[in-house]
Structures are given as structure tokens and as C-alpha cells.
Chains A and B, each alone.
Chain A
């Protein structure tokens, strides 16, 4: 018996009434239990795709199935599998967190006692219980984001979609949210995440899709994508200021300022080559770090290449 994917998108097109083509024939699938990243620059079509999956946006053509149920043909059944944490705050700021979460549970058919029990469970897990009876407008930005996660989890969906859940959240809370979401995924919930923090995607996700200009640019697993990275860029802090970048065979170097050196190291070159050459030139390195994380480097390259192709097509 064939296994049902958590999400199956087939030839999805969306053209808005103002003529903007947000999605152009996108097809992709997400396996059950996956932790999937959906990446793309602003305006790439990510939010439109999430809007269509969650039935907030009508499709122009194509089909979306959530655990085998078509959003277009059997919306109610498809929505029962789904929990959504949207990018923008979309709860009533005058209601209390408890009411918001309990009401959402009711919309999914959970009886009131079960809804209250579940709401308490998730508000406690997300450290919101102290504020459960206060108006939601009194919550901090990070708390409001966690409230939307609690609301999305209250009916315990099989597929959880998080649209930039950690945007504008401080690093400590972000890491706590990562742990919570990782725990949910470990417990069997399929998670789809969009984020601008590529470190987040690299750390959490197993598979990845990149969309740009409404097209699918890449759809693969994170490991093999990272393996395809043929250069890495490092930033080196120098002890003594320099005026000219040292020449290192096979490695591109340039001074960003008098005490910071950028080195682009091809995969086949060893970092030992770089340090040997710097040592020979009498350059002392105080510290070293990646300029961007590896996924970010790949992402920028793919998107830039796609943008060039897009411009070329437009000019023809």
C-alpha cells in the first residue's frame, strides 16, 4: 500500500486579480514526519503557497492534498490535518490567550473540557500560562508568536506549518521555540517552516525547497544541498593592520578593512594551505568565522542565478 505524503502539491498556479503571477506551476511533496524548509526571498511566492495550502488563498489551477485530502475538493477534511502559524498576528487582541486557544479547539470539534485541558497544556509548554487570562494585547511580541503556536497545536494537527515563526523574536526565545518545534516533530508531526534565518533551516530541517519568482528553484535534502557547496567564505580578524591582502595560491583573498581579511576557499583546498601561506607572510590571525552560514551561501547563489535568468527572460 503506497504511503500518503503529508503534502502533495501538483502544478500549482496562482495569478492575483491585479495580474501578478505569484506561483507558476509549482509541484512538490513533503513526506510524513519530515521537517521541511520552504525558503525564498520576499515576494517569491512562499506566503501565497502557504495561503493556498491553508485555504486562505484560492488557487488559479492545480491541486493541493494534505494527507491525501484535497484542499480544493474536500476542504474540511484537509483542514483537519493542518495547523497554521501565520506570519502576521491574526488573533483578537482583546481576548485572553485561554479563550483564543479554547475557541480554536472548538472550531476543530474538540469538546470544551478537552479544549480547556489542551489549551492549558500548550500554554504551559509555551510559557504563557501566567498570562492566560490577560487580554492578548498585553503580551510581548515573543509571547504573541508563541500564542499562535499554542493555538495551531491545540487540535494536535498531523501537519504544522510555521510561516516565519521566529521573526523579531530574541535569540533566547527563538532557541526555546526551536526546541519546542523539534519536540513536536520528534513526536511525529510533520513540520513545514519558512524562515529568513537560514541557520534555523540548516539546524532544524531535513529537506528543503527554494522558490523564487513563483518557480521551484531547488527541492532536495539539506545534507546533499550542503555537500554541493564548492566554496566557503571565511572572515579572519588580523592582529596587525594590513594595507594589501596576502596572495594565497588557489584561494581568493581581499581586505574588508585594515584588520579584516575575507578568504574564499574552494572545497578542494585545505584550510591548512591558507594558514601556511598567512604564516609565511607574517600575518597573525586572532579569530576566524564563516561569513554566512553554508545554507545562506548556497541560497544566495541559487537565488542570484535565478534572478539573472529571470532578467534575461524578461529582456528577450
Chain B
């Protein structure tokens, strides 16, 4: 009985989040599509022609997995922080907090909403990429599962940020000063083999490096790390951040007085 009621609550929350994404499509879908098109034109086409190949594939093809992942990461994270913090700031998070929904349903509902946006934008970027280069997916299951896990991971990270944020500035700091640098340094535009040995070792501490390489393996069959290591790292972070989010929502940290 309770499981049925929770399932209805979960579906309601996801529907509400998806409706929000579609209502403000000009902010959620269009800007990343335009940005990524520019990346493909400038880095892939204009500069990429002079670079030639990277890791055995032409440069345009090489950057596709990184740019798709970059879209999934920023949009999953961005959707969660803006929606969850907006609900906290506008106090309509109270609609959920006074409801009988258990913490895990609230976390799952918001994470699913953020995943929808991350994967939707990721799909749009993939379709744009297909206009610039021919892509033959090396392993569909790996490609899809890494994208799925990545969207979960960054939705959870966004939730932690939103829970602790007190003002709108607080939800801009992490993406600007941590997420974007880690994404760019995670091998979106280059293979780690180009770096000096010291910086190769430093890159090994960047979780986004494993995500991008795992996804690149799925799409192109090429990676700087083993696919097993990539899965372990991603699943480990999902488990840690998932537990943190559940604990935060359950105890009401930053949500209940």
C-alpha cells in the first residue's frame, strides 16, 4: 500500500520536474545546444582540421564524447541546483516536506528530473555532433550506462550544493570554480598521453577524467583508463553522494529548522 502511494508521489514529482524543464525550454535545452554547436564548429571543424588525429581518430570525432559528457554533467547538476534551491528559496520545498513522502522518494524524484534534463541535452548534443562527423557507437550498453550513472552522480552533487546553499551565489560557485575546471581538465579536448607524467598523475585524481574516458570508450572504443576502473569510480561516487543526500534530506539539514 505504502509502496504504491510512494510510487504515485515519485511519478508526480518527476512529472512536475519534466514539466518545468519543458516550460522553460529556452533556458534548459536551447543554450547548451547553441554552445555545443559552436564548440563543434570552432574546435572540431576549424581548429580540429589543423590538429589532425588524436588517439587514432580525427579530432572532431575525438571531442564528441567529451562534449556530450560535459553537457550531461552541467545540465544534470544545473537542473538540480536551480530547481531544488529555487524550491528552497521560494519555500515550495515545504509542499514535499509536509507530505508523507519518505526522504528517498524526494531524492529519487529530483534526481530523476535532473537526469531527464542531462540525458535530453546529451541526446541533442549527440544529434548535433552527428551533423559534423560520422559516429559508430562502439558499445551501446557502456555508452548508455556511463551517461546514466554520470547524470545520477551530478544530480546528487547538485542536491548537496543546493541543500547547503543559502543564496543564489552559492549555487554558482561550485559550477564555476570546481565543476568547469575539472571538466575541461578531464580530457574533453585532449588525450592524457599528451600531458607530462606529473600532470598525468594529477589527472588521475579528477573523477571527471574517468567519466569522460569511460564514455569515450563506449562511443569510440578508446580510453586512457580501463572501463572497469571508470565504472568503479563512478559507482563509488554515486554511492557516497547518494548516502549523503539521503542523510541530509532525512535529518532535514538545511531544510527543516
Contacts and interface: CB of A to CB of B under 8 A. Distances in A.
Given A56-B257, A57-B256, A84 B98 contact: yes
B12 A107 contact: yes
Nearest to A106: B12
A223 B257 CA distance: 36
Given A56-B256, A57-B257, A108 B100 contact: yes
Interface in B211-256: 251-252, 256
Interface string B1-35: 01011101101110110010001000000000000
A49 B93 CA distance: 19
A92 interface: yes
Given A106-B8, A110-B8, A82 B98 contact: yes
B257 A109 contact: no
Interface residues of B, number: 30
B169 interface: no
Nearest to B109: A107
Contacts of B16: 99, 103
B179 interface: no
A57 B97 CA distance: 10
Contacts of A56: 94, 97-98, 256-257
A106 B256 CA distance: 22
Contacts of B23: 94
B9 A107 contact: yes
B128 interface: no
B101 A76 contact: yes
B91 A88 contact: yes
B92 interface: yes
A105 B100 CA distance: 11
Interface string B114-145: 00000000000000000000000000000000
A86 B97 CA distance: 13
B182 interface: no
A144 to B, nearest CB: 12
Given A76-B102, A99-B19, A106-B9, A92 B90 contact: yes
B256 A107 contact: no
Contacts, number: 82
A54 B92 contact: no
B6 A109 contact: yes
Contacts of A4: none
A234 interface: no
Contacts of B4: 109
A51 B100 contact: no
Interface in B82-103: 87, 90-92, 94-102
Nearest to B93: A90
B246 to A, nearest CB: 15
A82 B99 CA distance: 9
Given A90-B95, A91-B92, A92-B90, A109 B8 contact: yes
Contacts of B13: 103, 106-107
Interface string A37-61: 0000000000010010011111000
A82 B95 CA distance: 12
A91 B257 contact: no
Contact of B9 (A48, A92, A109, A151): A109
Contacts of A197: none
A275 interface: no
A109 B101 CA distance: 9
Interface string B61-84: 000000000000000000000000
Q: Could you say which of A48, A54, A86, A103 has the most chain B C-beta atoms within 10 Å of its C-beta?
A: A103
Interface string B26-53: 0000000000000000000000000000
A75 B100 CA distance: 7
Contacts of A104: 95, 99
Contact of B91 (A55, A84, A90): A90
A291 interface: no
B2 A107 contact: no
B94 A107 contact: no
Given A57-B257, A58-B252, A99-B19, A107 B96 contact: yes
Nearest to B94: A90
B102 A107 contact: no
A84 B98 CA distance: 8
Contacts of A107: 9, 12-13, 95-96, 99-101
Nearest to B7: A109
B257 A16 contact: yes
A51 B11 CA distance: 27
Lowest 4 CB-CB distances: which A-B pairs, in order?
A106-B12, A109-B5, A107-B99, A90-B91
6 contacts: A56-B97, A76-B101, A104-B99, A107-B100, A109-B5, A109-B9
Interface of A: 16, 48, 51, 54-58, 75-77, 79-80, 82, 84, 86, 88-94, 99-100, 103-111, 151
Interface of B: 2, 4-6, 8-9, 11-13, 15-16, 19, 23, 87, 90-92, 94-102, 251-252, 256-257
Given A75-B100, A88-B91, A106-B9, 17 more contacts: A55-B97, A58-B257, A76-B2, A90-B94, A91-B95, A92-B87, A103-B95, A104-B95, A106-B11, A106-B12, A107-B12, A107-B95, A107-B101, A108-B5, A109-B5, A110-B8, A151-B95
